Structure 1
Amino acid sequence: MTSAQTPHMPSAKDQWATGLTMFGAVMLMLAGLLGIFRGIMAIAKDDVFLSTPDYVFHFDLTGWGWIHLVLGVIAVAISFGLFRAAMWSRVGGIAIAGLIIIVNFLSLPYYPLWSIVLIAFSGFIIWALCVVRPETVSSMFD
């Protein structure tokens, strides 16, 4: 068998790159879905959240709900691009995960434990999408 006839065996580096991209895609989809649910919860039923009257970044809970809902929908849409290993989705995934961190930090007093969980999720998403070189991932999906 010549080198032209041998099938391409992915290296360990290629497998790690694909795995990390899929990890980022799944985690972004989960963070997006959780953001959607949190947004719906804040819009529909405000009494689930803590009330903090003297918070500097005070919005109506319905306003926070819409912010979380919109970011969640965008995150889910971007995660579908990550499953196709599109470069725009890696950049968008990093950006939306950063925005999710900021929004969850700002809404920390309303639902503290859940905000910390989503901040950690988003940190893992950013790490997974930044650590892999684009050419390694795109070669695995061709």
Structure 2
Amino acid sequence: MVISGVLSVLQGVTGIARDALYGVPRKYEYRFDLTTWGWIHLVVGVALVIAGVAVLRAISWGRRAGVGIAAISLVTQFMFIPYYPLWSISVMTLDMIILWGLGRVAVT
């Protein structure tokens, strides 16, 4: 979860900096300014890192927060696919693994 968060933070910083790395689709319903997408990914990434640290420290709210934030990250990455498909699909894969892992672990 921390790795997915760090990748989202990097994606956010790149978007805020308006890097030429991202393509801008012409016809897309969820087309926002790259700076807006950058801030969205930055906030979600920081939240993922915080939830990941909470899960690693076995804090009670960590798993629930992790599931919620990973689901939000999955949706935002899906919406970001037209801008940078390879990166978004990679982070989506990590988010799916996070959701699977947090859903499988029994509470001890």
Deviation at 1:81, TM superposition (A): 0.6
TM-score by length of 1: 0.74
Given that residues 46 and 62 in structure 1 are in contact (C-alpha distance below 8 angstroms), is that contact kept between their aligned partners in structure 2? no
Q: Deviations over 1:40-65 (max 9, x none)?
A: 00111332101102111110011000
Give distance in 2, aligned partners of 1:87 and 1:95: 14
Aligned equivalent of 2:68, options 84, 92, 95: 95
Is 1:120 the counterpart of 2:97? The answer is no
User: In structure 1, what is the equivalent of residue 104 of structure 2?
Assistant: 131
Given that residues 87 and 134 in structure 1 are in contact (C-alpha distance below 8 angstroms), is that contact kept between their aligned partners in structure 2? no
Given that residues 39 and 68 in structure 1 are in contact (C-alpha distance below 8 angstroms), is that contact kept between their aligned partners in structure 2? yes
1:57 partner letter: Y
Give distance in 2, aligned partners of 1:109 and 1:81: 32
After TM superposition, the runs of 4+ consecutive aligned structure 1 residues lying more than 4 A away are none
1:104 partner letter: Q
Q: Deviations over 1:102-127 (max 9, x none)?
A: 00000100000110001100000011
The SS at the match of 2:61 is helix
Is 1:63 the counterpart of 2:36? The answer is yes
Mapping 1:1-142, distance limit 5 Å: 28-135=1-108
Given that residues 77 and 88 in structure 2 are in contact (C-alpha distance below 8 angstroms), is that contact kept between their aligned partners in structure 1? yes
Q: Deviations over 1:20-75 (max 9, x none)?
A: xxxxxxxx000000000010001113321011021111100110000000000011
Segments of 5+ residues of structure 2 without an aligned counterpart are: none
Deviation at 1:83, TM superposition (A): 1.1
Which structure: larger Rg?
A: 1
Given that residues 11 and 38 in structure 2 are in contact (C-alpha distance below 8 angstroms), is that contact kept between their aligned partners in structure 1? yes
Segments of 5+ residues of structure 1 without an aligned counterpart are: 1-27, 136-142
CA RMSD of aligned residues (A): 0.8
